[in-house]
Structure 1
Amino acid sequence: MPVLYLVRHGQASFGADDYDVLSPTGHRQAEAVGRALAAQGVTPDAWVMGDMRRHRETMEGILTGMDATGITPEVHAGLNEYDFGALLKAKMKAAGQDDAPPPDRRNYFRTLREVVQEWHRDEIPDPYETYGTFRDRVEDARTFCMREGVETVLAVSSGGAIGQMIARLLDAPPITQVKLQLQMKNCAVNRIVYSARNAYLHGFNETPYIDASNEAEMLTYS
């Protein structure tokens, strides 16, 4: 059966002015997962990524690690992450507040979980993107990746979009999307096998490039 390898981007720049750029560790993770996939014998005949910078930089690293330079990946914006910052601003604006909470990790991820669940329930007034729109564009991306005529697809996306795709694949409730997202390691590999009628999750949050010798450096979540 055909296989979709759905890879989360490498470590980005949490707390920086521009999150949408890989850290030095993120670049190393991307090349390392490419080498690991090549060692497993993965030979994609289709390459797809979102149009965010961290997706492009991750794909470039994977291509280098797989010795597959010269390939031009396809781009599908349905693989892009939702904009949590915009959702938080919309929530605060509706509450008559202006200042965002400090971006320390504990507060950030707790707030993300709470705000996204409100988004799922359509409780945030005037969001930049409704949850239904996000859900549908991710589904469009899944259909694009799993199209007829390709046997092995490698796609680079983000934790929220990947979580949404897997949650829908499992017919799980919306809260599953954010639960999966918050577990997702950087450059984690998720495997979906599919046919014209069905799709099945065969691997979740795998890190074939990490072992005891490099775990302290390479195992990251944000």
Structure 2
Amino acid sequence: MGSIYLIRHGQASFGADDYDVLSPIGIRQAEVLGAHLAELGLRLDRSVSGDLRRQQHTANAAMSRLSEAGIAVPPLEIDAAFNEFDADAVIRALLPDLLPEQPEALQVMRNAAQNRAEFQRLFALLIGRWLSGDYDQPGLQSWQGFVEQVQAGFARLLEKAERGQHIALFTSGGTITALLHLVTGVAPDKAFELNWQIVNTSLSCLKFRGSQVSLASFNSHVHLQLLKAPELITFR
């Protein structure tokens, strides 16, 4: 059987003007991941990423550590199907209808970095509405549309995959959530309960034989745990 390693990007710049940039911690996480893969002697046949900068930067930082260890690395393939859903667009579209129930929400969202716990609570409420399909709006990608995007990219990946290959897929938490939903059949709301637990640069492993795919492991971040540096274990 072949293996597909779903790797969430390193910590991005939450609360900054441009989220799609790895923070110094995110860069360190990616480097630690690459060193860990090198210690395992993992040889990748393919490396795939979405086209977001944080995804590609994570891939390049990790692969550079493999290369430094003398392990050949494949060229990075780019497929935008593995991009994250547009969380900002979801917030902008669905927040107004939430304000009568949560009048403080606008202030919290404007100062997310200073209100992380409350931001997460409100964001989860908005995601719940997005998943339901009852609040779909013109111009806003629906949950179903996002799943179809990811499914199309995954079908392309499997179509090109050869038997027994080891493939790294550098992507984002929402994309991994959609893949969990597609592979295991877990309900979207339950999949997002898992989403909130996905650590930056964690590995989840899918096993495949042809078009048959199963989940082998989820959210492993032992490479960070072994350093005994709690600041490296992040979720956004």
TM-score by length of 2: 0.86
Is residue 235 of structure 2 the alignment partner of residue 221 of structure 1? yes
Whichever residue aligns with residue 146 of structure 2, its letter is F
Q: Which residue among 93, 112, 120 is the counterpart of 2:131?
A: 120
Q: Is the 8 A contact 2:205 2:218 kept in 1?
A: yes
Give me the CA root mean square deviation.
2.1
Aligned to 1:130: 142
Tell me whether 154-163 or 134-143 shows the greater mean CA deviation. Answer: 134-143
Aligned to 1:193: 207
Q: Output the CA distance in 2 between the equivalents of 1:160 and 1:53.
A: 16
Q: CA deviation at 1:70?
A: 7.4
Whichever residue aligns with residue 162 of structure 2, its letter is G
Q: Is the 8 A contact 1:33 1:208 kept in 2?
A: no
TM-superposition CA deviations, 1:2-25 (whole Å, max 9, x none): 000110000111111111100111
What are the equivalent positions in structure 2 for 1:84-163 lying under 5 Å apart?
Answer: 84-93=87-96, 99=106, 101=109, 102-103=111-112, 104-124=115-135, 125-126=137-138, 128-147=140-159, 148-149=161-162, 151-163=165-177
Q: Which structure has greater helix proportion? A: 2
Is residue 77 of structure 2 the alignment partner of residue 74 of structure 1? yes
Tell me whether 94-103 or 207-216 shows the greater mean CA deviation. Answer: 94-103
TM-superposition CA deviations, 1:170-216 (whole Å, max 9, x none): 11111123212110001000100011242111110001312354332
TM-superposition CA deviations, 1:44-101 (whole Å, max 9, x none): 1111000101001101111112116875311111111111111111113457899463
Residues 212, 72 of structure 1: alpha-carbon distance in 2 compared, 3 angstrom cutoff: closer
Q: Secondary structure at the match of 2:41?
A: coil
Q: Is the 8 A contact 1:36 1:208 kept in 2?
A: no
Q: Secondary structure at the match of 1:209?
A: helix
Q: Output the CA distance in 1 between the equivalents of 2:9 and 2:125.
A: 23
Aligned to 2:43: 43
Whichever residue aligns with residue 153 of structure 1, its letter is I
Q: CA deviation at 1:133?
A: 1.0
Q: CA deviation at 1:141?
A: 2.0
Q: CA deviation at 1:127?
A: 5.1
TM-superposition CA deviations, 1:105-164 (whole Å, max 9, x none): 112211221111111111223352111110011112222233332611001000011011
Q: Secondary structure at the match of 2:200?
A: coil
Instruction: Please list every run of 5 or more consecutive structure 1 residues that lacks an aligned counterpart in the other structure.
Output: none
Q: How many matched pairs?
A: 222
TM-superposition CA deviations, 1:13-40 (whole Å, max 9, x none): 1111111100111101101101111222
Q: Output the CA distance in 2 between the equivalents of 1:87 and 1:170.
A: 25
Q: Is the 8 A contact 1:63 1:69 kept in 2?
A: no
Instruction: Please list every run of 5 or more consecutive structure 2 residues that lacks an aligned counterpart in the other structure.
Output: none
Residues 199, 94 of structure 1: alpha-carbon distance in 2 compared, 3 angstrom cutoff: same
Residues 112, 92 of structure 1: alpha-carbon distance in 2 compared, 3 angstrom cutoff: closer
